[in-house]
Chains A and B, each alone.
Chain A
Amino acid sequence: MKSDFDLSAWPPPSLFSRRHFLRLGARLAGALALLPWVPGAAWAAALEAVFKERTVADVLKGLGDDIQSSDQITIVTPEIAENGAVVPVTVKSALPSTTEIYLVVEKNPNPLAAAFIIPDQTEPSISARVKVAQSSNLIAVVKADGKLYSATRETKVTLGGCGG
């Protein structure tokens, strides 16, 4: 079995200089100081704090200021999910030079659910499944050509069952 977990290739080197990364980096100087030469690990360490944020506003602030809404981002989720434990989501970006995709669930205790880095040769389209604690907006944040964009779609989740 291939046991290594080689982070050295994360993320593409171009990401290093991006504004929001520096912003995160500044807030987490300690983490960066420990791992100054592994960009993937630093990105992960910086995001760790954003994953802990409790409100959408703080999550978005953590990802970077100046996020513009864009109709070039498509979010596909069922209008109504039978159970919030598994809600399928596809985020597709038509924005040129898309490098990152973030999934944010507005009403979850920790809204940031997942972050993806999209290398050059990979389509800016990701499907995943997330937990949605209650009917809520799903927000896709996309980084394209160094700038952040977002789109929002509501999904309903239902209660069910015969007993406990």
Chain B
Amino acid sequence: MGSPMKIRAAIKDGRTEVKVLISHPMETGLRKDSEGKAVPAHYITEVVARHNERVVLSAIWGPAVSQNPFVQFQFAGGAPGDTVSVAWKDNQGDTRSDQLTLA
């Protein structure tokens, strides 16, 4: 299980803007550590964001997404009390899901 994400969401003019920061090393598999050993690839492969149960964004990533990834998007709708959740899965089988309640 990874570290918590930082999810922020704001309702504005009938839309909800979502900003997500994910704690993840996003190792390419090409880097060598200080002892010269190759660091195995370790990166998020899939991301899903939901507004309540509805998927509002899905993504497939490669290792070229930056370490501690950030993603921002907007969806129509969203009301106080609704949930916004984000889940990810990485190439080593680790997953994490966090959610917030819209204010």
Contacts and interface: CB of A to CB of B under 8 A. Distances in A.
Contacts, number: 120
B7 to A, nearest CB: 13
Contacts of B89: 5
Interface residues of B, number: 37
> Main SS of the interface on chain B?
strand
Given A1-B97, A2-B87, A108 B73 contact: no
B60 A47 contact: yes
A13 to B, nearest CB: 12
A86 interface: yes
B84 to A, nearest CB: 12
B55 A10 contact: yes
Interface string B88-102: 010000010101000
Interface of A: 1-7, 9-11, 40, 43-44, 47, 51, 85-88, 90, 105, 108-110, 112-119, 121-123, 125-131
